[in-house]
Amino acid sequence: MMRMTVLASGSKGNSAVIASSRTRILVDAGLSCRELMRRMHQVGEDPSGLDAILITHEHADHVSGLPVLARKLNIPVYFTEQTHRAWVRQMTPKTTVSYKQWLEQQRREKQERLEAQALAHQIATMPGVLNDAPDDHFFLSDAPTGEIPEFVASAAEHGEPLAASAVHVHAEAERLPDLPPRLGNASTTPDATTDPASALAAAAEDDLCEDTSKALRESIRQNPSFLPAVEYFQAGRHLAIGDIDITPFTIPHDAADPCGFVFAAEGLRIGFATDLGYMPPNVKLALRNCDILLLESNHDLEMLRDGPYPWSVKQRVLSRVGHLSNDACAEFLLRDYDGGAAYVVLAHLSESNNQPDLARRAAEAAVGDRLSLLGNRILLAPQAEPLASLCL
């Protein structure tokens, strides 16, 4: 059994769950942690059951909720090394350390967290130390009520390793600015294509609000690029997460090292390719023999040319490292697609420069007589709500 659940797709945020009978992977985290978890619950996906987060590239509509979600769930995040570097620079743009120095800093902070945890545990298990404080304050000995050290409260409340800010704060890391009141309306989420900085700020605003613990908020403000665990992969080299075999492949997009993926388990394959300016031979080859195919159909050419984007953004979207148009998607489905998928999911539709009916008609015309109730069903991944899970 394999299952794909698209939680969101478009310029305001992208995320999907890929699952086998034993493993669940979140591909991208382009909405706030709060919204991602709400949508997962909406479609019956338990966030605590996720095994890993896999990142296609570092653009805001793919990583906005990543720092908070990874910390809350305490799960590893998989990047290419170049994408991770770009993400770290994006999260801490004023840091002056080299990447090698940053890695050494992370190693030291991890060691200090482990030492602090061991000390806290030693104190907690000393005879006569425990009092009648609630269980989540079991580390405390003689701290007055209401004066719980933040790093202890954070670790106890979230079941996580101690926040980096509790033991070591990099003095040169940029702190996030004070956040304005919550937007409170998902429809006002900025378009990351035209305003990526605002998209990141909006996700932070949603996550770092009054009902997030003070310790976690401070940890993220002081060290926004900290993740519980980071794993690297390379395009063209297989990796496995649980029982899901993953083949990453390079895609043409204006990011550090963007990738698409083919996920395989139990004899089934799911192809996943968005944010690409055109369909190069390696992508066409990778997407053969898929049982579910998720493919970008971002814009209608005429709507983009006449639409509201600034001319510089239009040029970027139309370039060979931009986004795939309805026509380009249809050309692939007509000339290079092998016709073997049960579902073809059109993804990353622009709300400003596309219409669902235009994308659907172009794809259906390209698939032609291969379209049926049992195969090649054309579906559209929406921005505002999850797509019903596709199970094979």
For residues 385 and 240, membership in a common domain is answered with yes
Q: Of 222, 239, 258, which residue constitutes the final position of a domain?
A: 222
Q: How many structural domains compose the chain?
A: 2
Q: Quick check: 156 and 138 in contact, CB under 8 A?
A: yes
Strand 24-27, strand 230-232: pairing: unpaired
For residues 127 and 187, membership in a common domain is answered with yes
What pTM, to 2 d.p., does this model score?
A: 0.75
Range of the domain at 71: 2-93+229-391
For residues 10 and 155, membership in a common domain is answered with no
**Spatial distance between the Cα atoms of 45 and 370, rounded to a whole number of angstroms:** 32
For residues 245 and 186, membership in a common domain is answered with no
For residues 88 and 109, membership in a common domain is answered with no
Q: Quick check: 279 and 326 in contact, CB under 8 A?
A: no
Q: Is the dihedral of CA 187, 191, 192, 197 positive or negative?
A: negative
For the chain, give the number of residues.
392
Q: Quick check: 342 and 348 in contact, CB under 8 A?
A: no
User: What pLDDT does 304 receive?
Assistant: 97
Q: Of 222, 246, 266, which residue constitutes the final position of a domain?
A: 222
Residue 206: which residues within 8 A CB-CB, separation 6 or more?
32, 33, 34, 35, 182, 183
User: What pLDDT does 94 receive?
Assistant: 62
For residues 126 and 70, membership in a common domain is answered with no
Tokens of 62: 């793919």
Q: How many CB atoms are located within 10 Å of the residue 100 CB? A: 8
Q: Of 202, 222, 242, which residue constitutes the final position of a domain?
A: 222
User: What pLDDT does 206 receive?
Assistant: 72
E-only strand ranges, the chain: 2-8, 15-20, 24-27, 52-54, 77-79, 230-232, 239-241, 244-250, 259-265, 268-273, 292-296, 343-347, 377-380, 390-391
**Spatial distance between the Cα atoms of 10 and 30, rounded to a whole number of angstroms:** 9
For residues 68 and 127, membership in a common domain is answered with no
Backbone angles phi, psi at 75, to 5 degrees: -125, 155
For residues 216 and 306, membership in a common domain is answered with no
* pLDDT, tens digit only, all 392 positions of the chain: 999 999 999 999 999 999 999 999 999 999 999 999 999 999 999 999 999 999 999 999 999 999 999 999 999 999 999 999 999 999 876 656 677 888 888 888 889 888 888 888 888 777 755 444 444 433 333 333 444 344 334 434 444 443 333 333 333 333 333 434 344 444 567 787 777 777 777 776 676 655 567 777 777 788 889 999 999 999 999 999 999 999 999 999 999 999 999 999 999 999 999 999 999 999 999 999 999 999 999 999 999 999 999 999 999 999 999 999 999 999 999 999 999 999 999 999 999 999 999 999 999 999 998 887 678 999 999 999 999 999 99
